[in-house]
Amino acid sequence: MTRVKLQDVAERAGVSVTTVSRVLNNRGYLSKQTIQKVHQAMEELNYRPNAVARQLFKQKTDLVGLVFPTVNNPFFGELEAELEERLYELGYRVVMGNSQNNPQKEEQYLQLLLNGQIDGLIVGAHNEGIEAYHNTNLPIVSIERIVSKQIPVVAADNYTGGRLATQRLLDDGCQHIIHTNYPATSSTPNQERRRGYEELVNEHGMEKITYEISFDSPNEEKAAIFKQIFIDHPECDGIFADNDTNARLAINAARQAGKRVPEDVKVIGYDGASSTQLLFPDLTTIQQPIAEMAKVAVDLLQKRLADQSVSSVTLPVKLIPGTTA
């Protein structure tokens, strides 16, 4: 079967090839009659425009890369779904990559952007020290991760979230509150949760104790750390976990240590993704505005694609009450 060419459409419509190209790419003034003639010729010939050629003409691919640690985590899974839906509504297709603690994967997506194979990137992976982020002014937006001074960050108000969680445990009468968070060397707004916790327990004359847990550690290692918390601190009566998955591990460890939740130990999580609330409705948690974070990130990326200046954005959080604290 012979492929229909642009010249065939031009001949059928009785116009030049340039005119057909202008109709396809919506460029320049053309009469309604001319546009109708070209579209009628395309329909009669069953002509399908060459998508690659149109992308080269427009100098854009209508592709956006998303690079996050994993979709297995409720927060990141919901966030990627929200981003994909909003980008789709704007005519973008998504190239999705889970970095799985592998900086080489993340660098490959950066290379796609540098090579013009995708229009922009929205990133939230935890890999450190990727030099390309610091040497360029590419259309990149970060979510809950500090990449470089040039790249805007969309984050929830982690400091307020840390204080809200800690205050809830204090209001419950907890005297020995332990927090879990990423290693202090990680460049993430999560560290503000830690600062909110530490400042508030200091204000109440209590000892600040933070156990560092890498996001990418296997669940077995994380569970062992929570088990160790109750060995090291049998007096612990409150845990502020840095995410809802870790809150679940904290509750399991508390029960294995012979403690009741919430009677002996109060536990509060962080994230409040829809799937977590559905599967674990009793969990008291700090909810991040995931849908709003996705919307703002896409808005910022559009502005960066249009060479507009943008700034980082911080969004409010709220406490979702449950029975665990």
pLDDT at 97: 72
Residue 128 pLDDT level (bands cut at 50, 70, 90): low
For the segment 110-134, the average pLDDT, to the nearest whole number, is: 73
| Predicted confidence (pLDDT) at residue 173 exceeds the cutoff of 80 | yes
Question: Quick one: pLDDT band at residue 129, thresholds 50, 70, 90?
Answer: low
- Chain segment 78-110, per-residue pLDDT in tens: 999 999 999 999 989 888 777 666 667 767 777
Query: What's the token pair of residue 211?
Result: 């156990």
Domains and CATH numbers, the chain: 6-58 (1.10.260.40), 63-155+290-315 (3.40.50.2300), 158-289 (3.40.50.2300)
Total length of the chain? 325
Question: How do residues 295-308 score in pLDDT, each as one tens digit?
Answer: 999 999 999 988 88
What gap in Å lies between CA 16 and CA 143, rounded to an integer? Answer: 48
Instruction: Identify the pLDDT of residue 56.
Output: 43
pLDDT score for 113 = 65
- Tell me which of 201 and 42 has the higher pLDDT: 201
At 287, is the secondary structure helix, strand, or coil?
strand
Let me know: does 273 contact 74? Beta carbons within 8 Å. Answer: yes
**β-pairing verdict for 318-320 and 284-287:** antiparallel
The angle that helices 51-58 and 17-25 make with each other, rounded to 10 degrees, is 80
pLDDT band of 283, cuts 50, 70, 90? very high
In angstroms, the CA 174 to CA 237 distance is 6
Residue 125 pLDDT greater than 60, yes or no: yes
Confidence of residue 44 (pLDDT cuts 50, 70, 90): confident
* pLDDT value at 57 more than 60: no
Mean of pLDDT values over 36-58: 69
Which helix (H) or strand (E) covers residue 288, if one does?
Answer: none
Cα 302 to Cα 168: distance, rounded to the nearest angstrom: 38
Token readout for 260 is 């009741």
What 3-state DSSP class applies to 37? helix
Per-residue pLDDT, 120: 86
Q: How far apart are CA 224 and CA 46, in angstroms?
A: 63
Residues 99 and 261: their CA atoms lie apart, in Å, by: 35
pLDDT higher than threshold 90 for residue 59: no
Q: In this structure, what token pair is assigned to residue 283?
A: 């969990």
| Residues paired with residue 84 on neighbouring β-strands, in sequence order | none
Q: Is the pLDDT of residue 114 over 80?
A: no
Burial per residue of 268-285, b for 16 or more beta-carbon CB atoms within 10 angstroms, e otherwise: bbbbbbeebbeebeebbb
Q: Dig out the tokens for 128 from the structure.
A: 């450190």
Instruction: Quote the pLDDT of residue 311.
Output: 93
Q: What distance in Å separates the CA atoms of residue 126 and residue 216, rounded to the nearest whole number?
A: 9
